[in-house]
Amino acid sequence: MIYCAGHSIISPLGEGTQANIEAVQAGRSGLKKYTDRFADVEPFCASLFDTPQDFVPLCIRSIELALNEQIIKCENAQTIFILSTTKGDQLDLWSPAQQIAAHFHNPNPPIVVSNACTSGVCAQITAMRLLESGLYRHAVVVGCDLQSRFIVSGFQAFKALSPEPCTPFDPNRKGLNLGEAAATIIYTTEPTDSWRLVAGSIHNDANHISAPSRTGEGAFLCLKDVLNGVQPSEITRIGVHGTGTLYNDDMERIALQRAGLADVPMSVLKPHFGHTMGAAGVLETILCAEMASNSQCTMHNSQIIKMLSGFGGVNAAIRIEK
Amino acid sequence: MLVELYRRFAGDYPKFFKMDTLCRLGFIAAEILLKGQTSQCEKEQMSIILANRSASIKNDTDYLATISEGNYYPSPSLFVYTLPNIVTGEIAIRHHIQGETSFYILESPEQLEPIIKSYFSSPLKGGPRGALTGWCECSKPNDFYAKMQIIYGTTD
């Protein structure tokens, strides 16, 4: 078990976790239609920063917002930096991680998790293992992706993008929208008064590199693992991936039914932020955990599951306790 | 060279020819290690954890060529390989492995050791576990390197 010691979100909806919570509660969305943002690309709908951002400074700003220097000393060798991203800084993943860690004077080589759209959850699982095995005491997990001509053209070629704001789990859903964000969670081995990461699991469908399993195989195995020690009825909320593509949402429905979780309330955040790729797992974990505590939940103990799936047939899930 | 190795060690998997170089490299390394082996653990407990320094840069560059200005024909079949973890998925499909698949971008192969160590020490579930793990790098055409091993352990 590892404990949250700070978090932040920077998205087109606002700077800081609180600003983003308020935007979601007010029903605001960062999704807009773009016709000439990238050359040659067909018009698309996405959640993008008004002013194009630079990758490394954006990650640094996100980490600074999340840091509580009284608990975490970045320059300490017991702190590890973990970056979750799919495309990094214009296709370079290693150098930006190194620049971010160097900015905070961290002496360890950083770790980059690049596990497609599950990266943000996988990065937290990596942090949990490294901290639980005693190799480090603190982890700075930052997730970030910025959109580009490269990514938008590829998703369009795949016919995965919805021309309208996405409608996950709607029978008439038309596909996903891409998004930009940076989000950070600081984890530590010492108890804090915030939420804690108690379990995490990653499984492959072993079925197809770009289509989810029809039986939700990998996602089901992940859910089964993170339910170890609790009953499905104890789960208070599930943050699904909910991209709004036909196959993803159906796969998740099947996996949730197989795991006995069909009746648990679920959160879908893509209509507010789009699919923020490497940031998604970090951003959505923060919002699921923070907003669960702000709801009129009468139970003392919230048990939240966050799940994600991605290209390469990979699925990941974590369980957060509050 | 990779095609020659494919003919020598596999030869029965035409999907190989659709793969980018990084996937072909990982596929062959895994083929040499796993072929004819009886796994010592359940397929849900066998994992594939690989790393490199330059992610999917070689295939990223190939995809970029399909969206160059004045010659814009984005290829979905190239785009899907613009993620480094696709090689772990290709190996998982070939060998019916349903455990973890993870891909890390690291400074050097040594940096993977503590990650693997912590994977085996995480007490998610008891029983035998295995991991196909190592370095799988292709930064330029005809410039590739893979070094993999299978590690078995138990978390009991």
**Which CATH number is A238's domain given?**
3.40.47.10
Range of the domain at A308: 196-321
Say if residue A175 is in the same domain as residue A259: no
Report helix angle A55-66 to A94-103, nearest 10. Answer: 40
Say if residue A163 is in the same domain as residue A243: no
pLDDT band at B124, cuts 50/70/90? low
* pLDDT for residue B37: 80
* pLDDT for residue A293: 63
* pLDDT for residue A63: 98
Contact indicator for A251, A258 with CB cutoff of 8 Å: no
Segment A171-184 mean pLDDT: 98
* pLDDT for residue A172: 96
Q: What is the rounded distance in angstroms from the CA atom of residue B118 to the CA atom of residue B120?
A: 5
Region for A44 from its dihedrals, namely left if φ exceeds 0, alpha if ψ lies in -120 to 50, beta otherwise: beta
**Res. B12: pLDDT tops 60:** yes
**Cα dihedral value A198, A195, A57, B50, nearest 10:** 0
**Res. B156: pLDDT tops 70:** no
Q: A189 touching B, CB under 8 A?
A: no
Q: A229 touching B, CB under 8 A?
A: no
Q: Could you say which of A158, A188, A218 is where a domain stops?
A: A188
For the stretch B104-121, pLDDT in tens is: 999 999 999 999 999 998
Average pLDDT over chain A, rounded to an integer: 96
For the stretch A294-322, pLDDT in tens is: 555 555 689 999 999 999 999 999 999 99
DSSP per position, A159-221: T-B-SS---TT-TT---B-EE-EEEEEEEESS--SS-EEEEEEEEE-SS-SSS--TT-HHHHH
Kindly tell me the burial class for residue A134, based on how many C-beta atoms sit within 10 Å of its own C-beta (0-12, 13-18, 19 or more). exposed
Q: Could you say which of A188, A206, A223 is where a domain stops?
A: A188
Count CB-CB contacts under 10 A for residue A261.
Answer: 20
Q: A88 touching B, CB under 8 A?
A: yes
Say if residue A238 is in the same domain as residue A283: yes
Q: What is the rounded distance in angstroms from the CA atom of residue A112 to the CA atom of residue B106?
A: 6
Say if residue A256 is in the same domain as residue A305: yes
User: What would the 3-class secondary structure string for chain B be?
Assistant: CHHHHHHHHCCCCHHHHHCCHHHHHHHHHHHHHHCCCCCCCCHHHEEEEEEECCCCHHHHHHHHHHEECCEECCCHHHHCCCCCCHHHHHHHHHHCCCCCEEEEECCCHHHHHHHHHHHHHCCCCCCEEEEEEEEEEEEECCEEEEEEEEEEEECC
Q: A197 touching B, CB under 8 A?
A: no
B101 vs A contacts (CB less than 8 Å): 115, 202, 204, 312-314
pLDDT band at A22, cuts 50/70/90? very high
B98 vs A contacts (CB less than 8 Å): 203-206, 217-218, 221
**Res. B15: pLDDT tops 90:** yes
Say if residue A120 is in the same domain as residue A25: yes
Q: Which two tokens stand for residue A241?
A: 């991936």
Q: What is the rounded distance in angstroms from the CA atom of residue B82 to the CA atom of residue A87?
A: 9
* pLDDT for residue B40: 82
Q: What is the rounded distance in angstroms from the CA atom of residue B82 to the CA atom of residue B50?
A: 16
* Interchain proximity B53–A94, CB inside 8 Å: yes
Question: Among A186, A155, A167, A13, which residue's Cα sits nearest to residue A87?
Answer: A155
Strand pairing of A138-145 and A181-188?
A: antiparallel
Strand pairing of A237-239 and A303-310?
A: parallel
Tokens 């495309």 correspond to A87
Residues 6+ away with beta carbon under 8 Å from B6: B13, B16, B24, B27, B28, B31
Any idea where the domains of chain B sit in the sequence? 2-55+84-154
Q: What is the rounded distance in angstroms from the CA atom of residue B2 to the CA atom of residue B7?
A: 9
* pLDDT for residue B155: 61
DSSP per position, A62-88: HHHHH--TTT--TTSTTEEEEEE-SST
Say if residue A70 is in the same domain as residue A86: yes
Q: B80 touching A, CB under 8 A?
A: yes
Tokens 């980018």 correspond to B20
Q: B93 touching A, CB under 8 A?
A: yes
Looking at the 3D structure of chain A, how many domains does it have? 2
For the stretch A74-88, pLDDT in tens is: 999 999 999 999 999
Say if residue A64 is in the same domain as residue A168: yes
- Residue B126: half-sphere exposure toward Cβ, Cα within 13 Å: 1
Q: What is the rounded distance in angstroms from the CA atom of residue B94 to the CA atom of residue A139?
A: 35
CB pairs under 8 A between A and B: 165
Count CB-CB contacts under 10 A for residue B40.
Answer: 14
Nearest CB among A40, A135, A311 relative to B72 is that of A40
Nearest CB among A91, A129, A157 relative to B122 is that of A129
A153 vs B contacts (CB less than 8 Å): 67, 72, 74, 79
* pLDDT for residue B41: 85
* pLDDT for residue A153: 97
Q: Could you say which of A160, A188, A216 is where a domain stops?
A: A188
- Residue A112: half-sphere exposure toward Cβ, Cα within 13 Å: 32
- Residue A28: half-sphere exposure toward Cβ, Cα within 13 Å: 12
* pLDDT for residue B111: 98
Say if residue A134 is in the same domain as residue A260: no
B64 vs A contacts (CB less than 8 Å): 150
Say if residue A166 is in the same domain as residue A225: no
Segment B148-152 mean pLDDT: 95
Identify each DSSP E strand in chain A by its residue range: 2-11, 14-15, 31-34, 44-47, 79-84, 111-113, 138-145, 178-179, 181-188, 196-204, 237-239, 266-267, 303-310, 314-321
Tokens 């300490």 correspond to A76
pLDDT band at B141, cuts 50/70/90? confident
* pLDDT for residue A145: 98
A129 Cα to chain B: minimum distance (Å): 5
* Interchain proximity A126–B121, CB inside 8 Å: no
**Res. A248: pLDDT tops 90:** yes
Residues 6+ away with beta carbon under 8 Å from A119: A84, A85, A86, A113, A143, A277, A278, A281, A310
Phi, psi of A215 (to 5 degrees): -105, 5
* pLDDT for residue B42: 86
High-pLDDT (> 70) share of chain A, %: 98
Count CB-CB contacts under 10 A for residue A88.
Answer: 24
The domain made up of B2-55+84-154 is a member of CATH 3.20.20.70: no
The whole-angstrom distance between residue A39's C-alpha and the CA centroid of its chain comes to 28
For the stretch B18-44, pLDDT in tens is: 999 999 999 999 999 998 788 788 889
Segment A241-260 mean pLDDT: 97
Cα torsion A218, A222, A228, A230: sign:
negative
Residues 237-296, chain A, touching B (beta carbon < 8 A): none
pLDDT band at B154, cuts 50/70/90? confident
* Interchain proximity B104–A113, CB inside 8 Å: yes
Contact indicator for A66, A138 with CB cutoff of 8 Å: no
Say if residue A72 is in the same domain as residue A132: yes
Q: What is the rounded distance in angstroms from the CA atom of residue A318 to the CA atom of residue B25?
A: 31
